[in-house]
Amino acid sequence: MSSGITYLLFDLDETLYPSSSGMVEEISRRMTRYVARYLNLDEDSAARIRRALSQKHGTTLTGLMSEYNFKDPESYLEFAHPVDVERYLHKDPELVAALSSINLPKSILTNAPAEHARRILEYLEIERFFQRIFDIRMNDFQGKPERGVYLRVLAELKRDAPEVLFIDNRLDYLLAFRDIGGRVVLVADRAVEAEAGHEVPRIAHVKELPEFLERL
């Protein structure tokens, strides 16, 4: 490919399926409930703390471990991620066709656990397109946008950053990858307020990725 891109790295939640699905809202509710129980707070207070931790550390879990001496990440991950993904997702033949048409190797980089990723990929019938799942456990529960996460993934993939296109719905995660020389594209069906001034390419849905790659 003339763009120099040899590998595609995909986020999972609200990147491979629409943000309107309700999945992330359910995960957020569960996370807030867990934080409220762990810190013995009401859910409104827990939600405020959770948002602050996520903004500061990239994930609520990383923040809990860093600031609140939290030692049980596995119970948190199990509680936070619903098993019945079919309640929130819809099979999409156009997504299958789009990924099938892209003749580049692909992997997942997610701040969720691998079992959550596998459930979603299997339900959407796209698991076969991805070589690896890099999850929150991969870097000792340090998630995106931690620089070390990206460097470890690149080392595992044996790729230099400029060869890799990272596709995510969160601008802060993309900017951190771009800071180490990677290529990025934002998946968002509407303009992101923080996007102004960053000149990050954007597509409305991951199904537009084949066309985006052609333009490159």
Q: Domain limits of the chain? A: 7-19+89-215, 23-80
Quick check: do 7-19+89-215 and 23-80 share a fold? no
61, containing H or E segment: helix 60-67
pTM: 0.93
Q: Low-confidence residues of the chain, pLDDT below 50? A: 1
Closest residue by Cα to residue 61 from 155, 140, 164, 114: 140
pLDDT given for residue 91 in this prediction: 96
pLDDT given for residue 1 in this prediction: 45
d(CA 8, CA 44): 38
pLDDT given for residue 58 in this prediction: 85
What CATH code is assigned to 23-80? 1.10.150
- Reported in sequence order, the residue ranges of 88-207 that DSSP labels E, i.e. its strands, are 106-109, 133-134, 164-168, 183-187, 202-203
Q: Are 205 and 16 in contact (CB under 8 A)?
A: no
pLDDT given for residue 198 in this prediction: 76
Closest residue by Cα to residue 59 from 37, 81, 41, 83: 81
Give the architecture-level CATH label for domain 7-19+89-215. 3-Layer(aba) Sandwich (3.40)
